[in-house]
């Protein structure tokens, strides 16, 4: 499926909306993620967009940590590439272009972040199944969806699909303007 067929996905031309000072106030990456990320973790930022969470994830994962920033829009990955070029993060962050139907990843992760992305996937159940398969035995998946766009009933369906695909809810953290669920493997 081409990028143009996914018109419900935030286009690269709107990347600035995803990475600005107002969002840093509302969705402080360190505040949201610091309780989940430890030194040395391997982390996937799925649907990384312009890298709003990618760089904080790389910093939180310490010197030995690794982050895969995955997106199906090459333009978003190029924005991340430009941000990390010439920095020590170039060796910690691997950019990965996935397709609309699969990440194409095979490695296992300690933590996966899917921030405002599940509602943009063409098949939420396949997405959740794949994310569960990518988690290490003690790994966690944090799904965050915009409450102004994803209604409670739809989010509960996401939780049910997660549970159907070998995931269990650990907690539903409170995140401003969002519905969130932290999952682990059953």
Mapped to the 3 state alphabet, what secondary structure does 20-53 carry?
Answer: CHHHHHHCCHHHHHCCCCCCCCEEEEECCCCCCC
Segment 146-160, tens digit of pLDDT: 999 999 999 999 999
Per the structure, the count of domains in the chain is 1
Tokens of residue 111, six digits: 């933590």
User: Has this prediction a pTM greater than 0.85?
Assistant: yes
pLDDT band at residue 5 under the 50/70/90 scheme: very low
Percent of the chain residues topping a pLDDT of 70? 91
CATH number, domain of 71, equals 3.40.50.150
Q: In what order do the strands lie in the sheet with 109-115?
A: 93-97, 66-71, 42-46, 109-115, 135-146, 178-185, 167-171
The domain of 89 spans 3-185
């Amino acid at each position: 499926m081409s990028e143009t067929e996914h018109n419900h996905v935030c286009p690269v031309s709107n990347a600035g909306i995803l990475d600005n000072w107002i969002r840093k106030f509302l969705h402080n990456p360190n505040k949201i993620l610091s309780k989940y990320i430890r030194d040395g973790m391997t982390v996937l930022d799925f649907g990384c967009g312009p890298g709003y969470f990618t760089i904080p994830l790389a910093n939180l994962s310490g010197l030995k940590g690794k982050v895969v920033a995955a997106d199906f829009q090459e333009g978003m990955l190029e924005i991340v590439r430009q941000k990390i070029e010439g920095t020590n993060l170039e060796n910690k962050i691997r950019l990965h272009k996935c397709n609309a139907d699969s990440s194409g990843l095979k490695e296992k992760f300690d933590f996966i972040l899917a921030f405002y992305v599940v509602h943009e996937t063409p098949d939420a159940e396949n997405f959740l199944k794949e994310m569960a398969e990518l988690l290490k035995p003690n790994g966690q998946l944090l799904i965050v969806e915009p409450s102004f766009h994803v209604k409670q009933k739809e989010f509960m369906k996401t939780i049910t699909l997660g549970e159907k695909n070998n995931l269990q809810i650990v907690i539903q953290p409170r995140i401003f303007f969002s519905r969130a669920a932290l999952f682990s493997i059953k």
